[in-house]
Amino acid sequence: MPIVNRIAALTDEIAAWRHDFHEHPELLYEVHRTAGIVADRLREFGCDEVVTGIGHTGVVGVIHGRKNNSGRVIGLRADMDALPIEEMSGVSYASKTPGMMHACGHDGHTAMLLGAAKYLTETRNFDGTAVMIFQPAEEGGAGGKAMVDDGLMTRWSIQEVYGLHNMPGLPEGHFALTPGPILAAADSFEIVVHGKGGHGGAGPHKAIDSVLIGSEIVGALQSIVARNVDPMKTAVVSACSFHAGSAFNIIPATATISGTARTFEPKVRDLVERRISEIAEGIARTYGGSAETNYTRMYPPTINHERETAIAADVARDVAGADRVNDRTTPIMA
Catalytic residues: 81, 138
Cβ distance 298 to 189 under 8 Å? no
- Which of 62, 63, 37, 41 has its CA nearest to residue 51? 62
How far CA 245 is from CA of 195, 207, 216, 291, in Å, comes to: 12, 13, 17, 16
Cβ distance 162 to 76 under 8 Å? yes
Question: Rounded distance, CA 23 to CA 20, Å?
Answer: 5
Q: What is the DSSP letter of 324?
A: G
Q: Which amino acid is at 32?
A: H
Query: What's CA 173's distance to the chain center, in Å?
Result: 22
Question: Rounded distance, CA 192 to CA 219, Å?
Answer: 16
Cβ distance 176 to 313 under 8 Å? no
Report, in angstroms and rounded to the nearest whole number, the Rg of the chain calculated over CA atoms. 25
Cβ distance 249 to 204 under 8 Å? no
Question: Rounded distance, CA 105 to CA 165, Å?
Answer: 8
- Which of 249, 226, 248, 250 has its CA nearest to residue 236? 226
**Measured torsion, CA atoms of residues 169, 175, 178, 184, in degrees rounded to the nearest 10:** 40
Helix (H, G, I), strand (E, B) or coil at 292: strand
| 129-135 and 58-64 strand pairing | antiparallel
Question: Rounded distance, CA 254 to CA 179, Å?
Answer: 45
Helix (H, G, I), strand (E, B) or coil at 246: coil
